[in-house]
């Protein structure tokens, strides 16, 4: 690995010696290249609901600077976010202690959460089509609907601008992975379009030199960590007149990936997960959305969209480490899963001047799940996994924003939701109240409260191995307050405190093997943020988040498992006049605990090793700024770390690439 460090140093020196080029790229200060037609609008003129919430925005420029390839990489440094990797081979995004299933993910207003378990795979969402990401933690608008107990990730994509533009790029790195991507876009007075495509493949990620080999995992590269992912995305917009805008969004994804087994294969280790040899040997997904925005009057607008999001997946669990047999061991299976979400949303909005803004949201959604394939119950003995279920979710939300006094913003919202399924119909509601006050032109105070709910998903209810149709609706009560302070030199500081009580959270009960509702889990914490921009060349951001969790429903589990108590980040970027750009980031995660499995009594507690990750990237514009070459290194110091016990993560990874603007 000394050679790798020397390579990074050489790259740094070479980058500084490359010929200087005059920067011809225009600054990204407007939203002309942002496709807003499908976006859930949660704020009108004035301070609005967003001034009372905690919202973090990641721009296309932020993504380009850091070298993030997928959604999870793009938001990993945001406060409140924890990215976990375990036995499923998929990054999971937790927000303020809530799991992925408690996070609503929207792409141009299209729900990306699985109809089966309401989770999502952020690694299949490439970044080349993202204009900005808005992360709302804690209390969020009722217009987003039910489900976002932890928060909402709202992805807003790019659209074409006047003329025709294009980008072609290629990248490679350690162990010969590759990434190729391209975009083409354009616009006229009435039409705009944006089209992107990418293909990525890796044979596996490298382990740190500090990893100690086990009987299940040797040194070098992580077994069964290969992946292949391909994506095509596009938007087409049509504006026949000044009052009407129409849009079409489409996306196709396809690929496969391994699900690395636990590296700890010890039957006497009470913390180790059972070793499973599993893969997603093929998956594909299609989503299509039609959207419209019509200004009926100067004050009344109507937005609406209809969509379908379908995913087809072949999940296989083998009975050996060669991944070539299903016949010999009970529990092996070949599963074919199809899920879909179909829906329609209408969002009338009435601007009343000094009397405020009223927004109504009406939505209907149909979630369906079909399952088939054989399950091995004994050697050469099989049973069917056939299952088919669906349910409906209907939502109505009303939100009122008002600025009664200069510098004061008030928001109140109410949402009512109905879930219809075979055995019963269940309804519940959400409440939102928030206020912001600009104490001075440099100081803003804010506070909010949200009662929110999440209905059980199809997998929670009907999964053949652990489903429970008697599950109750999950509820949360979130309280939040904070202050934002502007300082000289374009510096912004923020302090936010929060407290959340969650009831009926759904968890698998190891004693019975079935899903059950936890009585109560509590989260409390504080988040500190700061950012400084000097002369538009130097950017420095830092954050610290402390999270306290308490599971009041199960004896011996003081903190929630795999929930970091401490997270700190630091990132900086400097743009030289000669076209050279440098970026560095530091991520520290600490105070994570986990507990024994297999019903060990009494419950034992252990702590994951704290870890720090440093990433670097250098890029240089060449050929009169028509091309950019870049080099980067992730996990510079080759940290050996885990986010789940027994599942080692990637060590040092060096990559490089080139991008051409057409």
Does the pLDDT value for residue 553 go beyond 50?
yes
Does the pLDDT value for residue 364 go beyond 90?
yes
Does the pLDDT value for residue 628 go beyond 50?
yes
Map residue 307 onto helix, strand or coil.
Answer: strand
Look at the block and give the residue holding tokens 């299209």.
Answer: 110
pLDDT at 84 (0 to 100): 93
DSSP 8-state code for residue 320: S
* CA–CA separation, 374 and 504 (whole Å): 33
Look at residue 27 and tell me if it is in a domain: no
Q: Which two tokens stand for residue 240?
A: 């026949």
Residues sharing a CB contact under 8 Å with residue 548, sequence separation 6 or more, in sequence order: 523, 524, 525, 559, 565
Confidence of residue 537 (pLDDT cuts 50, 70, 90): confident
**270: nearest Cα among 646, 566, 618, 657:** 646
Instruction: Give the chain's domain count.
Output: 1
User: Which range (39-43, 251-255, 588-592) has the least confidence?
Assistant: 39-43
Look at residue 26 and tell me if it is in a domain: no
110 neighbors 345 (Cβ within 8 angstroms): no
Does the pLDDT value for residue 571 go beyond 70?
yes
**Per-residue pLDDT reduced to its tens digit, 366-395:** 999 999 999 999 999 999 999 999 999 999
Confidence of residue 33 (pLDDT cuts 50, 70, 90): confident
Q: 397 exposed, middle or buried (CB, 10 Å; 0-12, 13-18, 19+)?
A: buried
Map residue 466 onto helix, strand or coil.
Answer: coil
Most confident range, picked from 8-17, 25-34, 241-250: 241-250
Look at residue 545 and tell me if it is in a domain: yes
**C-alpha 60: how far from its chain's center?**
15
Does the pLDDT value for residue 217 go beyond 80?
yes
Q: Which two tokens stand for residue 148?
A: 């976002």
Q: Which two tokens stand for residue 236?
A: 């087409």
In the chain, the percentage of residues whose pLDDT exceeds 90 is 78
Residues sharing a CB contact under 8 Å with residue 10, sequence separation 6 or more, in sequence order: none
By DSSP bridging, strand 103-107 and strand 151-157 are parallel
**247: nearest Cα among 176, 194, 314:** 194
Q: Comparing 41 with 10, which gets the higher pLDDT?
A: 41
pLDDT at 598 (0 to 100): 62
Map residue 51 onto helix, strand or coil.
Answer: helix
Does the pLDDT value for residue 496 go beyond 70?
yes
Does the pLDDT value for residue 176 go beyond 80?
no
* DSSP secondary structure letters along 345-370: EEEEEEE-GGG-EEEEEEEEEEEEEE
**Per-residue pLDDT reduced to its tens digit, 114-165:** 999 999 999 999 999 999 999 999 889 999 999 999 999 999 999 999 999 9
Does the pLDDT value for residue 471 go beyond 60?
yes
Look at residue 630 and tell me if it is in a domain: no
User: Which range (20-29, 264-273, 481-490) has the least confidence?
Assistant: 20-29
Q: Comparing 24 with 287, which gets the higher pLDDT?
A: 287
Confidence of residue 36 (pLDDT cuts 50, 70, 90): confident
* CA–CA separation, 308 and 289 (whole Å): 7
Average pLDDT for 304-322: 95
pLDDT at 20 (0 to 100): 37
pLDDT at 100 (0 to 100): 94
User: Which range (287-301, 594-608, 617-631) has the least confidence?
Assistant: 594-608
Q: Which run of H or of E encompasses 9?
A: helix 2-17
Does the pLDDT value for residue 18 go beyond 60?
no
Does the pLDDT value for residue 262 go beyond 90?
yes
pLDDT at 24 (0 to 100): 26
pLDDT at 45 (0 to 100): 42
* CA–CA separation, 524 and 565 (whole Å): 10
Average pLDDT for 85-100: 91
pLDDT at 268 (0 to 100): 86
Give the CATH number for residue 272.
2.40.170.20
E-only strand ranges, 5-128 = 54-59, 81-85, 91-95, 103-107, 110-111
Average pLDDT for 609-625: 96
Look at residue 195 and tell me if it is in a domain: yes
Q: Average pLDDT, whole number, for the chain? A: 90
pLDDT at 52 (0 to 100): 81
Look at residue 185 and tell me if it is in a domain: yes
pLDDT at 261 (0 to 100): 94
pLDDT at 478 (0 to 100): 97
* CA–CA separation, 166 and 662 (whole Å): 5
Residue 380 has a CB neighbour count (10 Å cut-off) of 8
pLDDT at 10 (0 to 100): 37
Backbone dihedral region for residue 643 (phi beyond 0: left; psi -120 to 50: alpha; all else: beta): alpha
Q: Which two tokens stand for residue 90?
A: 């998929």
Map residue 52 onto helix, strand or coil.
Answer: helix
Look at the block and give the residue holding tokens 């630091």.
Answer: 570
Average pLDDT for 506-514: 82
Average pLDDT for 276-302: 95
pLDDT at 19 (0 to 100): 33
pLDDT at 396 (0 to 100): 97
Does the pLDDT value for residue 535 go beyond 80?
no
Residues sharing a CB contact under 8 Å with residue 184, sequence separation 6 or more, in sequence order: 164, 165, 166, 194, 195, 196, 662
How long, in residues, is the chain?
Answer: 662
DSSP 8-state code for residue 11: H
Task: Supply the range of the domain harboring residue 121.
Answer: 2-21+34-625+636-661
DSSP 8-state code for residue 98: B
Average pLDDT for 406-433: 95
């Amino acid at each position: 690995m000394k050679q790798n460090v020397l390579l990074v140093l050489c790259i740094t020196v070479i980058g500084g010696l490359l010929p200087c080029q005059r920067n011809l790229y225009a600054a990204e200060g407007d939203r002309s290249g942002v496709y807003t037609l499908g976006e859930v609008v949660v704020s009108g003129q004035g301070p609005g609901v967003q001034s009372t919430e905690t919202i973090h925005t990641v721009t296309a420029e932020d993504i380009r600077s850091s070298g993030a390839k997928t959604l999870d990489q793009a938001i990993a440094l945001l406060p409140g976010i924890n990215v976990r990797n375990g036995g499923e081979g998929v990054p999971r995004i937790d927000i303020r202690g809530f799991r992925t299933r408690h996070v609503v993910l929207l792409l141009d207003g299209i729900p990306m959460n699985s109809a089966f378990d309401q989770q999502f795979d952020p690694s299949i969402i490439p970044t080349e089509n993202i204009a900005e990401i808005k992360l709302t933690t804690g209390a969020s608008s009722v217009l987003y609907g039910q489900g976002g107990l932890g928060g909402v990730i709202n992805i807003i994509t790019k659209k074409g601008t006047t003329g025709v533009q294009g980008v072609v790029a290629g990248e490679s790195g350690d162990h010969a992975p590759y990434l190729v991507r391209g975009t083409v876009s354009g616009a006229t007075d009435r039409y705009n379009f944006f089209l992107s495509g990418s293909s990525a493949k890796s044979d596996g990620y490298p382990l740190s030199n500090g990893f100690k080999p086990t009987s299940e995992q040797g040194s070098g590269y992580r077994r069964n960590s290969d992946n292949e992912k391909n994506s095509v995305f596009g938007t087409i917009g049509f504006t026949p007149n000044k009052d009407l805008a129409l849009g079409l969004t489409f996306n196709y994804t396809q690929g496969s990936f391994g699900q690395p087994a636990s590296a700890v294969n010890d039957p006497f280790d009470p913390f180790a997960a059972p070793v499973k040899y599993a893969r997603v040997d093929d998956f594909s997904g299609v989503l299509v959305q039609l959207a419209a925005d019509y200004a009926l009057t100067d004050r009344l607008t109507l937005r609406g969209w209809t969509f379908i999001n379908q995913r087809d997946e072949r999940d296989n669990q083998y009975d050996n480490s060669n991944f070539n047999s299903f016949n010999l061991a009970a529990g092996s299976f070949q599963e074919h899963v199809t899920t879909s979400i179909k829906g329609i949303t209408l969002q009338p909005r009435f601007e009343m001047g000094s009397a405020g803004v009223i927004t109504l949201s009406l939505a209907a959604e149909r979630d369906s799940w079909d399952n088939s394939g054989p399950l091995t119950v004994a050697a050469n003995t099989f049973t069917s996994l056939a299952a088919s279920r669906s349910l409906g979710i209907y939502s109505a939300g009303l939100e009122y924003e008002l600025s009664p006094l200069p510098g004061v913003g008030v928001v109140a919202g109410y949402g009512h939701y109905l879930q219809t399924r075979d055995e019963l119909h269940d309804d519940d509601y959400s409440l939102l109240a928030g206020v912001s006050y600009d104490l001075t032109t440099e100081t803003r105070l804010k506070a909010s409260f949200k009662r929110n709910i999440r209905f059980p998903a199809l997998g929670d209810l009907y999964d053949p191995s652990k489903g429970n149709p008697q599950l109750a609706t999950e509820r949360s009560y979130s309280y939040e307050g904070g202050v934002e302070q502007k300082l000289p030199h374009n510096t912004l500081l923020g302090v936010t405190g929060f407290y959340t009580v969650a009831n009926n959270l759904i968890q698998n009960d190891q004693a019975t093997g079935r899903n059950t509702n936890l009585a109560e889990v509590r989260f409390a914490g504080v988040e500190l943020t700061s950012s400084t921009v000097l002369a538009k060349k130097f950017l420095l951001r830092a954050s610290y988040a402390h999270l306290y969790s308490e599971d009041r429903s199960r004896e011996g589990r003081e903190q929630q498992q795999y929930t970091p108590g401490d997270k700190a980040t630091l990132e900086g970027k400097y743009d030289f006049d000669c076209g050279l750009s440098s970026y560095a980031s530091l991520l520290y995660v600490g105070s994570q605990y986990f507990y024994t499995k297999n019903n060990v009594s009494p419950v034992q507690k252990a702590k994951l090793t704290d870890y720090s990750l440093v990433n670097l990237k250098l890029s240089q514009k060449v050929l009169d700024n028509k091309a950019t070459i870049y080099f980067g290194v992730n996990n510079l110091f080759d940290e050996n770390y885990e986010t789940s016990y027994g599942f080692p993560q990637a060590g040092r990874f060096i990559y490089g690439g080139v991008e051409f603007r057409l």
